[in-house]
Each structure stands twice: as C-alpha cells, then as structure tokens.
C-alpha cells in the first residue's frame, strides 16, 4: 500500500491568484516570481499554467532560466541575483536573459564584456534593507557607465522593501529611492506582493508578485489570504494510520513533551519533518481531520504527527487529514510554528507525491 501522504497543486487557484495581482496592479506589467522551484510548487508546472498570463518570469538560478528557454518560453526572464561570474554573461546573451546588477563588481564584469547581443538590465538600489543593491552614491556613476556600454540595452531601476508587510511600511524607503533617482528617466520595478497589495503607488513599471500567487498572504497579521481574495494552491494532505488511547499521565512521542491530563484518543498522521512539515511546530498547531479543526500534540517526528481527536468521534484509521491548504491556511500553520508560509511551501520534500488539479 502506498503511504497516504500527497500534495495537490490547484492550477486554477494559481491562475485565479494571478488574476488578483493583475486586478490590484492594473497599470503594471507583472513578473511571476518562480524562484525556489516556484515556492515548492514546481517550476515547469507553474510556468506552463501562467504561460498566457504572466508578462515575464523572475527567478534566481541560471540553469532554471535556461530550462524555461529550452522548453519554449519566450517571455522576458529576470535573474534576481544577476550573474556571479563573467563567464556566465555569454549565456545571458544567448538565452536573452535579464540580469539584476547590484554590485560594483558586476558592473565591471558587464562593462568589460564583449557580447553578441544587448542585455536589458535591472539596476538595484539599496534603499535601507541593506542586503543587495548599490548605495545612492554609487548609483549615478554606475548608471552612466551602463548607459554607455554597447552590450547593455534598456535599464530598469529597482529596489526591494524591508517593511512592506509590517507597520513601518515603505515611505522611508520610497523617499530614499526618489531622492537617489531624481533626474533618472528609466522605468522602475518596485512592488513585491506586499507592496502591490498595500501600496498601489508602487504598481508602476514592472511589479514582482511572489507569495501571493501561491495563495498565501504576505501580511497575515493584517489581512488573511481569504480576505485578499486568494486561494491556496498547495494542499498537503494525509490520513490517520493509527489510533491510540491515553490515560491521564501518559506521555506522547519523543521526549514525552505532551502529557495527557484526561483520557484521550489521539490519531497518528502519516506526515513528519522528512515530508516538509516543520519540526518545531508545537502542540496545539492547527490541523484538519475529517474536515474538522483539531490540534497536534507532542513533538513532530520524522514520519509522523500526533493529533488530538477530541470532538471528532468519526475519526479512525484512514480518516483524511489536511496539514495545510484547502480549509486550513498555510499562514496559520506557519504562525503556530514560529515561521512564515514561504518556508513551509519551499520545504516540501521530494518524497511527497504531487497531484495536479486543473
């Protein structure tokens, strides 16, 4: 018998979420961000589903970009960390890829390159996140150098927000961006998912929706995915494979970190951290059994999770379980585990079978 765990990828939900992004950013072209194997959903699967909707695809790995080109995709493709070595630049030219330039070293590689075709370039400005990007003092000299480089085509200015999903917001970074780019006559790319949804003024040029495409809210503390109009694309589900009866004082699982205070019936779910479920999820993490909310108990193990079956008398061996997705937002599970939905979606293990739902 096949282990009952599975992942269902709902492609109609994916397309519906993209339509929400389009509706919320009507004046912008949209990069569909498909980095990290499309946030665990499958690069080719997602690209094919959005083939006639996305204006372009944004990702990190050069190999993935080449894979899309060789599969026949002719959309613009943006490499969000650009190139790492000068000898990658001929591939960028051959496959018509757009690099993000965010360091002086990359600038030197590009201005020294002899390429057979012009590359469109995204030039990234650090406006306060202090991760990637040129300083305001570096921007204009680099921009001037790129504008006079024969192998550089159209230049787009971009930045990335540190607090678009938090109370501080983006005004402080926008002020830095506007001041640094004053007098620059280039298109821009400013909005990630959070900014696209919360700050319509950033939806000009090219926007970069990512997590929202997969049905998760970029700011669940303010607004749920359902309230935004998003639907879960990934549903991780399994079944109960055993039932145990506990008496007061009985402990559960490794380390016995959960102790029964009353007679209990618990179910054992065929899912664990080797499947991508967060090991640090504590007792009380929400879970669905027979379509009803329940709570986990004890420590998550490699292949199993325990769940309190109180109030679900119909639950037994073979009962369906949803770990996250349809009926249980991944944001809730992530919050309980002290992390974000991005991590859970990206961590889905290869051993979990995937079922596509058109």
DSSP percent split of the chain into helix, strand, coil, nearest 5? 30, 25, 45
Neighbours of 227 (CB within 10 A): 10
- Chain-centre distance of CA 251, in angstroms? 37
Whole-angstrom Cα distance, residue 317 to residue 1? 14
Active-site choice (35, 122, 214, 277): 35
Task: Give the residue extent of every domain in the chain.
Answer: 26-208, 234-357
Average pLDDT on 326-333 reads: 98
> Which H or E run contains 268?
strand 264-269
CATH code that applies to domain 234-357: 2.40.37.10
- What does the longest C-alpha to C-alpha distance in the chain come to? 77
Active-site choice (124, 161, 199, 254): 254
- The residues, ordered by sequence, that sit 6+ positions from 166 with a Cβ below 8 Å of its Cβ are 219
Average pLDDT of the residues of the chain: 97
Whole-angstrom Cα distance, residue 97 to residue 70? 13
DSSP H helices, 25-111, are: 35-39, 43-49, 62-70, 89-94, 104-111
Segment 94-111, tens digit of pLDDT: 999 999 999 999 999 999
Which residue from 16, 342, 44 is spatially nearest to 210, judged by alpha carbons? 342
- The residues, ordered by sequence, that sit 6+ positions from 55 with a Cβ below 8 Å of its Cβ are 29, 30, 31, 75, 76, 206
From residue 340, alpha-carbon distances to 72, 116, 330 in Å are 34, 43, 9
Neighbours of 317 (CB within 10 A): 11
Segment 260-297, tens digit of pLDDT: 999 999 999 999 999 999 999 999 999 999 999 999 99
Whole-angstrom Cα distance, residue 29 to residue 51? 14
Is 35 known to be catalytic? yes
Whole-angstrom Cα distance, residue 179 to residue 175? 6
Q: How confident is the model at residue 170 (pLDDT cuts 50, 70, 90)?
A: very high
Whole-angstrom Cα distance, residue 72 to residue 88? 21
Q: What is the pLDDT of residue 115?
A: 96
Is 273 known to be catalytic? no
Whole-angstrom Cα distance, residue 82 to residue 120? 12
Q: Strand, coil or helix: what is 226?
A: helix
1 pLDDT above the threshold of 80:
no
What string of DSSP letters covers 132-186?
SSB-HHHHHHHHHHHHT-TTEEEEEEE---SSTTSTT-SHHHHHHHHHHTTT---
Segment 204-251, tens digit of pLDDT: 999 999 999 999 999 999 999 999 999 999 999 999 999 999 999 999
Q: Strand, coil or helix: what is 78?
A: strand
Q: What is the pLDDT of residue 164?
A: 93
Segment 133-163, tens digit of pLDDT: 999 999 999 999 999 999 999 999 999 999 9
Average pLDDT on 7-18 reads: 98
CATH code that applies to domain 26-208: 3.20.20.10
């Amino acid at each position: 018998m096949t282990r009952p765990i599975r992942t269902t990828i709902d492609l109609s939900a994916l397309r519906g979420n993209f339509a929400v992004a389009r509706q919320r950013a009507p004046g912008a072209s949209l990069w569909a961000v498909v980095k990290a194997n499309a946030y665990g959903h499958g690069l080719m699967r997602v690209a094919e589903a959005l083939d006639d909707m996305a204006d372009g695809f944004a990702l990190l790995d050069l190999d993935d970009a080449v894979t899309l080109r060789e599969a026949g995709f002719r959309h613009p493709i943006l490499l969000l960390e650009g190139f790492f070595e000068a000898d990658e630049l001929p591939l960028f030219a051959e496959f018509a890829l757009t690099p993000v330039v965010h360091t002086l070293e990359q600038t030197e590689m590009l201005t020294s390159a002899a390429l057979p075709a012009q590359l469109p370039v995204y030039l990234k400005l650090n406006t306060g996140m202090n991760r990637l990007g040129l300083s305001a003092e570096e921007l204009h000299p680099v921009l001037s150098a790129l504008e006079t480089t024969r192998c550089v085509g159209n230049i787009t200015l971009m930045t990335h927000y540190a607090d678009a999903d938090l109370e501080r917001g983006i005004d402080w970074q926008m002020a830095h961006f506007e001041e640094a780019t004053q007098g620059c006559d280039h298109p821009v790319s400013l909005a990630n998912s959070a900014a696209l949804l919360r700050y319509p003024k950033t939806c000009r040029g090219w926007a970069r929706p990512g997590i929202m495409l997969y049905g998760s809210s970029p700011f669940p503390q303010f607004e749920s995915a359902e309230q935004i109009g998003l639907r879960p694309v990934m549903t991780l589900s399994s079944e109960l494979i055993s039932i145990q009866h506990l008496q007061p004082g009985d402990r559960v699982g490794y380390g016995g970190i959960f102790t029964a205070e009353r007679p209990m019936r618990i179910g054992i779910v065929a899912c664990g951290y080797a499947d991508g479920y967060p090991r640090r999820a504590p007792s009380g993490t929400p879970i669905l059994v027979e379509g009803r909310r329940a709570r986990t108990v004890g420590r998550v193990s490699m292949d199993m999770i325990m769940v309190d079956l109180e109030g679900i008398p119909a639950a037994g061996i073979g009962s369906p379980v949803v770990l996250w997705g349809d009926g249980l937002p991944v944001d809730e599970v992530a919050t309980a585990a002290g992390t974000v939905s991005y991590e859970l979606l990206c961590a889905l293990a290869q051993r979990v079978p995937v079922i596509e739902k058109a």
